[in-house]
Structure 1
């Protein structure tokens, strides 16, 4: 029931309800900082079939920071471009990824196989000394007071127990019992469509070659369908169900193979999963209740049209954990925690709105309206199919712990490859992942800036000038390989960036005076504890 021989502690700093991807990443991030963490889940095993299928470079950067990139990489592949076909089968647009050199150092969009990746996340979190995991155990109730929360729990044999925690993170899924107990309502963003999700492993090489060689959205008003190329021989179809179709009957193998008959026959592939869902757009009205925070599917659900469901949940815990750790470690005032829901709710709502717009385009059932849609999309590209990137669909942070009046505030800070004698390394491996002040060569050494940065807890990272970090780069500092940061700084007209632990830009500056003012603003925003 528990991991290893560790018994349940009577008190922890953080308790996590749910050991799915969001819960396991939250536990690993906390445990890596030595914060005592207890994780409970009513299920024992990882679900053995794929549900989430997409990752992006922000999430892979998180995995790399955690030290599990090598464990995850065998189960990950680049996400192929997605071709959108209109009502008459014509190409109307493409969704692809930004070109090299990649802004975060990784392929920007990826597909993955969830069960082994989730196993790797669990194993990593469970192996940390500060983390205790108890499976096959459910949370019956959470009781709070001013100083913390008590989880009343029950194991598979019906034995009751409890654990005391200073803080609780509820990562217990879309039907979250914790959220329901707290009476937190989900705001309906008005998207409700029935779909069948089918995963197969293609066993016939000729059939695999016959299938589309890119992912696709078939915006056919008769039956909108999504096709995704997963790792290896994994292929996924997401098929819209029609009003007169019973969702459970459509899950039966004979009906599934009928739907796939234009692409595959049963002797060419193994049916891995067929599950019907109602694709929703829901966001919690509030993300915190006293000592309890919601994260992942317990806080939001969105349609899957650009594969951001799991990414959103991991953004939640990445955002929350550095703030929670700052408060626990006495580096920030507890008021910092209010920014978690502020930032994540606004981001999720904006991204969900964009996903809904894409979904409405795909789900158009009226043939006349569908042809009008196709003409409009082609007209937006000047009469030809245009390409947009998945990266431009994901918005920046627009509120919270960001200096929004400075260029690039709230965006993800790039991660270039840094040249080193022992071989090129990514910036995070060289500079770390805490609060950073990144300076380009336009900023000369300045004792006042150094002192202010040290007082604010910022690690100073200097990027050398010259030919974009080439062998003739001038000045002290790290030499980047491909000029990613040089172009980023020049494009925003700045030479300094204050970067948060979750890699979002707090703010930027072009002059020493502006930078000193920015660092002062950061101190006020964090209300740094003495």
Structure 2
């Protein structure tokens, strides 16, 4: 039985990084009260992630900060593959205009600045409370509830809180993961890298896309993050540490090809750190009412810039499902779809990152010769260019909320586009945070009423529109689209599609109390 003397809240989010703040914001917008705990007082000050794609930018827009993020980010121009002598092997240009999701396919940013933006946005939600300096010390599950204990790191005082769900967004060394007995499966990749961030007002006169140096001895990456901010990453040699390169004088030998003759007094070294890049995935992402998200569930090497994005995808996938269960619209069994859908997707993305990592570092001298022979011709191989610069990610696997038919080119499990509509707005603005029917055929009145009763939005795709073409390519005339914009099912039988649309009318924020 719940203890009336113990504070309670529907959801506790452990970890206030991008994943934790995203899932808390999404839950708050469904009216779900949350307590967010983090061991740090504020935003972690060191830059880590520097890239997110258009799919993640679309989620950022759902949080309500599209314009603010655009002001602190810049589109990336594409990718250059360089040999060990920094000669260009191949260049893949990326269209920096808006993509099918409504945003540039690659976006560069400074993570502390991004996190500060996300936190300020979350703090506008009255049903969420963020508590820093909180060290989680115990998580115990009881029938239908979870009891969490944390210690205030400043006062040493212990606090006990009851909750319905705990979301572990607490990173690679997750306390929440340990509490449920989950372990990380090692995908057998481990490399030590030096990461250096610098600032200069001087113009480096470099191509503004990502430079990938394919060198089995000293692989490297260079990226322009902002108007004056830059990132370098170098694979460390055996015996080297970050301490060997913690000044501009010692680092200069590595970054010299990019900074040329710019004097040290015009360069500011923000930080130099050593990271061990690993590829790992948790053997299970859930134990009853405790879930793992982000780095607590998976670790992706940074070679394709998808580590942080994977956690934000986790948040988007789980938030609306939790809202539906807490509102009574969904059975708790639908939460099984979280791991079913996200785990394989995350593993595929890790595989893509590993492929890029091995392409940069494998093969010794023979690998260098092979890269020089093949790389200039990669753009001639069907699908390779798209794989390198297209941000499209794999479809989700089948689940109770992804219903696939037979045959190729299925829409189920993929993301629907986010085109500009006739009134100048984006589709996402019209669909909001509910299910939707997107169709080229106007449904009969009784079907329209049925969908409205279930909380779904109906959008009629005009002939010749981007949505109509999208449906036609998927051999469908209509699709049921979930709140996370994943297609639940698609086909030509409107009545069958309407029949499977779930009832989803979660509570509004006004119905909830601040924890």
What's the TM-score once normalised by structure 2's chain length?
0.90
* Alignment-derived partner of residue 491 in structure 2: 509
Asked if residue 119 in structure 1 is aligned to residue 98 in structure 2, the reply is no
Higher relative contact order (CA 8 A, sep 6+): 2
SS of match in other structure, 1:356: helix
Aligned partner of 2:43 in structure 1 is: 46
Q: Secondary structure at the match of 1:350?
A: helix
Instruction: Give the SS at the match of 1:166.
Output: strand
Aligned counterpart for 1:64 among listed residues 52, 61, 73: 61
Instruction: Show the counterpart of 2:432.
Output: 432
Cα pair distance change 1:9/1:319, threshold 3 Å: farther
Q: Which residue in the other structure is 1:292 paired with? A: 290
User: Quick one: which of 81, 84, 87 aligns to 2:78?
Assistant: 81
Matches within 5 A, 1:335-414: 335-364=333-362, 366-382=364-380, 387-388=385-386, 389-391=388-390, 394-400=393-399, 401-405=401-405, 407-414=410-417
Q: Note if contact 2:418-2:427 (Cα within 8 Å) is conserved in structure 1.
A: yes
**How far apart, in 2, do the equivalents of 1:121 and 1:22 lie?**
10
In 1, the alpha carbon distance for the partners of 2:317 and 2:381 equals 42
Could you say which residue in structure 1 is the equivalent of 2:211? 216
CA distance in 2, matches of 1:462, 1:47: 45
Aligned twin of 1:319:
317
1:135 equivalent to 2:138? Answer no
C-alpha displacement of 1:89:
4.3
**CA distance, structure 2, for counterparts of residue 449 and residue 183 of structure 1:** 47
Asked whether the equivalents of residues 87 and 371 of structure 1 are also in contact (C-alpha less than 8 Å), the reply is no
State the Cα deviation string for residues 459-494 of structure 1 (Å, max 9, x = none): 1111222xx4xxxxxxxxxxxxxx432331232222
Q: Flag structure 2 segments of 5+ consecutive residues without an equivalent.
A: 507-515
Deviates further, 179-188 or 348-357: 179-188
- In structure 1, distance between residues paired with 2:382 and 2:497: 45
Which residues of 2 match residues 81-480 of structure 1 at below 5 A? Answer: 81-87=78-84, 89-97=86-94, 102-155=99-152, 156-205=154-203, 208-209=204-205, 211-264=206-259, 265-364=263-362, 366-382=364-380, 387-388=385-386, 389-391=388-390, 394-400=393-399, 401-405=401-405, 407-420=410-423, 424-440=424-440, 443-454=441-452, 456-465=454-463, 468=464
1:496 to 467, 478, 486: 478
Contact kept? 2:38, 2:134, Cα under 8 Å: yes
Secondary structure of 1:418 counterpart: coil
Q: Distance in 1 between matches of 2:7 and 2:383?
A: 61
Within a 5 Å distance, the mapping from 1:25-40 to structure 2 comes to 25-40=22-37
Task: State the secondary structure of the residue aligned to 1:412.
Answer: coil
Aligned-pair RMSD on alpha carbons? 2.4
Which ranges in structure 1 are unaligned for 5 or more consecutive residues? 1-7, 469-482
Q: How many residues align?
A: 492
Match of 1:520 among 496, 499, 506: 499
What secondary structure is seen at the aligned counterpart in 1 of 2:198? strand
- State the SS of the aligned residue for 1:305: helix
Following superposition, the deviation at residue 380 of structure 1 comes to: 4.5
Q: Give the drift of 1:70.
A: 2.4
In structure 2, distance between residues paired with 1:322 and 1:43: 27
Q: Within 2, Cα distance between the matches of 1:521 and 1:383?
A: 41
Once residues 384 and 298 of structure 1 are traced to their aligned partners in structure 2, the CA distance between those partners, rounded to angstroms, is 36
Contact 1:93 1:386 (8 Å CA) reproduced: no
Structure 1 residue 162 displacement after superposition = 0.9
Deviation of 1:126 (Å): 2.1
Worse overlay, 211-220 or 407-416: 211-220
Q: 1:382 to 1:76 in 2, by over 3 A?
A: closer
Give the Cα–Cα distance (whole angstroms) in 2 for the partners of residues 501 and 410 of structure 1. 13
User: Could you tell me how far 1:62 is from its partner in structure 2?
Assistant: 1.4
Q: Spell out, residue by residue over 1:386-409, the C-alpha distance to the aligned partner (whole angstroms, 9 max, x if none).
A: 733433562221232212226211
Structure 1 length normalisation: TM-score? 0.87
Cα drift, residue 66 of structure 1: 1.7
Structure 1 residues 70 and 187: CA distance shift in structure 2, 3 A: same
Shift of 1:428: 1.4
Instruction: Provide the rounded CA distance (Å) in 2 between the counterparts of 1:377 and 1:77.
Output: 27
Q: Cα offset for 1:182?
A: 2.2
